[in-house]
């Protein structure tokens, strides 16, 4: 189970620390402590682990940069966030490299942006721990693979005929050499990898096939221990390409006095894994830097104009700037959705389950789309059954995302003066929710397409924008071991459902689950 996010908040203004504590509790960050004195905060840190530390800049006892510098000495891997006024921005930027800040956030901040930064800071703070766990898994995998090679090579002479068939049909390249490095056996995959036939390869020495200054071939070809060699390159003579590979080597002792010892090398082409890793890293880097950062900067700049901090605006200027701000917010929403989809698909986003009442959550979501519904003179009918009898145990923030997406679609695709029906029911331990509209509906054969990634329309031309909203909703419900589906037909409207099994409970104690 993943360690909970441990947050420390420091600000000499008690109103600020209290409001931040309440905000974090609402977002599921229940392990947050607040301090109004830097000295007291540092004393606490000496004996208590915190992986995200948030500090105000201007304080009487010491400023935020001085405090974070001291905190960094105690927990060098913690993510440090500085809250700074607009006038302090230049000093914060100047000191960011010296102190090692993760982020500085200008006052007044946007709560959604602050929560995103805290989540990202927590992810960064735990990166080293996750890397260590990954390294352990790799070591375990290596040990397991070496054990498997040892077991296979022990029987290689008595199973020669069978092994030849396996070798010839193996997807990995396999070559056998003697102690001098001369090649004695080559499988077809090795011929493809090196771009040479078996006859030509047998004229080569194994030292000629790879680019690496770190392999001590003399030691390797005179040892008896199995080896796993990573991060080296094989040379394909046909196209001149350097191919990244991993090599597992094993010693094959001589069974009879008339025979000599050999070494078997299993060579795996890891080009695909390398490319996938590169594309994944490029994808995340592009979203977080090239899209999110400028979008946030633009939104903040436009807010300065709209708030009148840079002078009064005419009605027309206000309208244009508001439109620009909405466009940037829509773009940021798309970027955040793409990031959430990536996190679910890569298994990096974990559910944080808490107890909550279902009805207030639904009302909160309805209020978010209410203005748009009223602008279209739509009537929203609510049918709630047994919602007050049990609590729901789920990731409240993620379920809220699903409900808002379904409500938003219903409002968007229902015509003016139309009706939208919301049903929510707790039956036993199951939680059921549905949204029904009286729009045009879609063809039944198009229904499966709506929950696929980047699906943008059907024969009924019912667009779903980027095609990620319903796909992400399905990922969220699937992560809860639930089910989401649609019942619809042309000219009969649509009704979206989701079911959360075993999610209705009677609360007996405060808990947070990380799944």
Which is higher by pLDDT, 446 or 402?
Answer: 402
pLDDT averaged over every residue in the chain: 81
Mean of pLDDT values over 402-406: 90
pLDDT single digits (tens) 447-480: 777 777 655 545 444 444 556 778 888 888 998 9
Report how far apart, in Å, the C-alpha atoms of 353 and of each of 8, 40, 86, 426, 479 are: 22, 32, 36, 18, 11
The tokens for 434 are 């549905």
Phi/psi zone of residue 111: left (φ > 0), alpha (ψ -120 to 50 degrees), beta?
alpha
pLDDT single digits (tens) 58-73: 888 888 888 988 998 8
| 0.75 surpassed by pTM | no
Residue 463: per-residue pLDDT: 47
Q: Rounded to 10 degrees, what is the CA torsion of 32, 37, 41, 42?
A: 160
The residues near 81 (Cβ < 8 Å, ≥ 6 apart) are: 52, 53, 54, 55, 101, 102, 103, 104, 105, 117, 118, 121
With beta carbons less than 8 A apart as the criterion, state whether 352 and 391 touch. Answer: no
Backbone angles phi and psi of 192, in degrees to 5: -65, -45
pLDDT at 27 over 50: yes
Q: Of 89-98, 240-249, 291-300, where does the model show the most confidence? A: 240-249
pLDDT at 13 over 50: yes
Q: Of 108-117, 142-151, 330-339, 379-388, where does the model show the most confidence? A: 379-388
Q: Which of these, 153, 183, 156, 192, lies nearest to 175 by C-alpha position?
A: 183
Exposed / middle / buried, residue 313 (Cβ in 10 Å: 0-12, 13-18, 19+): middle
Mean of pLDDT values over 313-321: 85
Residue 361: per-residue pLDDT: 94
Q: Strand order of the sheet with strand 79-84?
A: 32-35, 7-10, 52-56, 79-84, 103-106
pLDDT single digits (tens) 168-197: 778 788 888 888 888 888 888 888 888 888
Q: Which alpha helices (H) appear in 221-292, and where do they start and end? A: 271-285
Residue 515: per-residue pLDDT: 44
Residue 453: per-residue pLDDT: 64
Coil, strand or helix: which one is 207? helix
CA–CA gap between residue 450 and residue 2 (Å, rounded): 33
Mean of pLDDT values over 373-381: 89
Number of H helices, E strands in the chain: 16, 20
């Amino acid at each position: 189970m993943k360690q909970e996010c441990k947050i420390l908040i420091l600000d000499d203004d008690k109103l600020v620390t209290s409001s931040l504590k309440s905000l974090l509790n609402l977002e599921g960050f229940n392990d947050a402590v607040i301090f109004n004195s830097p000295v007291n905060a540092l004393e606490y840190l000496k004996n208590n682990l915190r992986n995200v530390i948030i500090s105000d800049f201007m304080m009487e006892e010491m400023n935020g940069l001085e405090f974070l510098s001291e905190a960094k000495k105690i927990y060098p891997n913690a993510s440090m966030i500085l809250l700074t006024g607009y006038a302090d921005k230049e000093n914060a930027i100047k000191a960011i490299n010296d102190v090692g800040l993760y982020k500085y956030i200008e006052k007044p901040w946007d709560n959604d942006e602050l929560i995103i930064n805290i989540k990202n800071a927590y992810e960064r703070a735990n990166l080293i721990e996750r890397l260590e766990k990954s390294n352990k898994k790799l070591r375990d995998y290596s040990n397991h693979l070496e054990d498997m090679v040892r077991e296979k090579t022990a029987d290689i002479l008595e199973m020669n005929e069978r092994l030849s068939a396996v070798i010839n049909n193996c997807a990995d390249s396999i070559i056998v050499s003697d102690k001098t490095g001369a090649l004695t056996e080559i499988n077809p995959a090795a011929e493809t990898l090196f771009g040479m036939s078996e006859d030509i390869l047998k004229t080569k020495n194994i030292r000629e096939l790879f680019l690496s200054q770190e392999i001590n071939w003399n030691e390797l070809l005179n040892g008896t221990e199995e080896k796993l060699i990573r991060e080296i390159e094989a040379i394909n003579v046909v196209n001149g390409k350097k191919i990244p590979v991993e090599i597992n080597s094993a010693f094959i002792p001589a069974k009879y006095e008339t025979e000599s010892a050999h070494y078997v090398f299993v060579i795996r082409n890891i080009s695909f894994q390398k490319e996938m890793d590169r594309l994944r890293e490029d994808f995340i880097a592009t979203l977080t830097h090239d899209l999110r950062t400028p979008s946030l900067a633009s939104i903040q700049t436009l807010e300065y104009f709209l708030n009148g901090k840079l002078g009064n605006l005419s009605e027309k200027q206000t309208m244009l700037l508001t439109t620009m701000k909405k466009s940037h917010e829509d773009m940021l929403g798309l970027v955040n959705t793409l990031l959430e989809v990536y996190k679910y698909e890569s298994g990096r986003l974990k559910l944080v389950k808490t107890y909550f009442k279902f009805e207030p959550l639904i009302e909160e979501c309805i209020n978010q789309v209410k203005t748009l519904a009223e602008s279209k003179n739509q009537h929203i009918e609510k049918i709630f059954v047994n919602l007050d009898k049990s609590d729901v145990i789920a990731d409240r923030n993620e379920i809220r995302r699903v409900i808002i997406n379904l409500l938003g679609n219903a409002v968007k695709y229902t015509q003016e003066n139309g009706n939208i029906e919301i049903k929510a029911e707790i039956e036993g331990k199951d939680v059921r929710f549905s949204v029904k509209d009286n729009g045009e509906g879609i063809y039944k054969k198009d229904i499966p397409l709506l929950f696929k990634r980047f699906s943008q329309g059907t024969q009924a031309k019912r667009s779903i924008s980027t095609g990620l909203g319903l796909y992400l909703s399905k990922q969220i419900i699937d992560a809860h071991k639930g089910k989401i589906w649609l019942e619809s037909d042309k000219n009969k409207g649509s009704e979206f459902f989701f079911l959360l099994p075993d999610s209705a409970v009677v609360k007996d104690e405060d808990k947070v689950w990380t799944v």
